[in-house]
């Protein structure tokens, strides 16, 4: 199977390890990866700020770059959700859009739902806490959120749990938002930073050595606060964990 890798702009520029990890993990599962170099950004920052006119050309561009691939895989829940759940106002009715929407996947989702992976090979002998990024959790349904009364399942947690030697530590608040929230991190700086600080305290209390998650944006925010406050936590994207664990 051949997939196009969608690397969000901030991952490309600031946390390339997440995308490199994704390539390694996909290839280890026999997937051929292509990277369409014309890609830049899905337009989420503008769309979430309400600036539809600024976001629309980026959505159109995204369809031009990624339309026609059998599958598009992205190491970010939030950017995947942008394409799947928030492109309609810009692209509804455009040729190829429905197929693009249906075949754009977050990395863990692709592994579990498309490739049927239940267990990943490899070992990762660390105490890890999973930060549930909201858009992946609630908009993509990578897991069932704590407020839902549906039976608990979680694709990301399931993959991590299958690694040998890993200890996933439980958090007091399983899926509270970290406070990144895109421009929220700046517009509501005070609340955003305290939300992050509180998440870090929860992760530390749980005894985590490494915090992982599906979204670099959340991790970057949490890492920024942890570093400022001199907390020793390490932050790794889930693709980096899965890649490092590979035998």
Restricting to residues 125-184, name those near another protein by CB under 8 A. 134-135, 138-139, 145-150, 173, 175-177, 179-184
Subset of residues 50 to 89 that bind another protein, contact rule: CB under 8 A? 50-55, 57-58, 61, 86, 89
**Under rule CB under 8 A, residue 189 binds another protein:** yes
Choice between 104 and 192, CB closer to another protein: 192
Which residue stretch of 13-21, 95-103, 105-113, 115-123 sits at the interface with another protein (rule: CB under 8 A)?
A: 13-21
**Under rule CB under 8 A, residue 196 binds another protein:** yes
Residue 28: both structure tokens together: 């280890």
Angle at 117 between CA 70 and CA 34, to 5 degrees: 35
**Under rule CB under 8 A, residue 211 binds another protein:** no
Minimum CB distance to another protein, residue 181 (Å) = 3
**Under rule CB under 8 A, residue 14 binds another protein:** yes
Subset of residues 100 to 119 that bind another protein, contact rule: CB under 8 A? none
**Under rule CB under 8 A, residue 187 binds another protein:** yes
Which residue stretch of 117-125, 156-164, 196-204, 238-246 sits at the interface with another protein (rule: CB under 8 A)?
A: 196-204
């Amino acid at each position: 199977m051949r997939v196009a890798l969608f690397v969000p702009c901030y991952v490309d520029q600031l946390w390339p390890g997440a995308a490199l990890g994704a390539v390694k993990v996909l290839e280890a599962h026999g997937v051929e990866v292509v990277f369409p170099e014309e890609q830049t950004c899905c337009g989420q920052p503008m769309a979430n700020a309400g600036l539809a006119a600024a976001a629309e050309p980026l959505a159109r561009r995204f369809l031009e770059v990624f339309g026609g691939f059998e599958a598009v895989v992205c190491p970010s829940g939030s950017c995947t959700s942008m394409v799947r759940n928030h492109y309609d106002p810009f692209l509804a009715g455009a040729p190829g859009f429905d197929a693009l929407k249906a075949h754009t996947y977050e990395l863990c989702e692709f592994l579990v739902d498309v490739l049927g992976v239940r267990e990943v090979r490899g070992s990762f002998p660390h105490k890890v806490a999973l930060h549930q990024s909201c858009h992946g959790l609630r908009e993509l349904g990578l897991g069932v959120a704590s407020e839902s009364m549906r039976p608990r399942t979680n694709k990301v947690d399931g993959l991590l749990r299958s690694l040998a030697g890993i200890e996933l530590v439980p958090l007091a608040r399983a899926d509270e938002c970290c406070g990144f929230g895109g421009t929220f991190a700046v517009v509501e700086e005070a609340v955003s930073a305290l939300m992050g600080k509180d998440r870090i305290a929860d992760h530390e209390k749980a005894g985590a050595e490494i915090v992982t998650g599906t979204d670099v944006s959340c991790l970057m925010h949490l890492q920024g606060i942890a570093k400022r406050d001199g907390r020793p936590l390490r932050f790794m994207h889930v693709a980096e964990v899965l890649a490092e664990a590979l035998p």
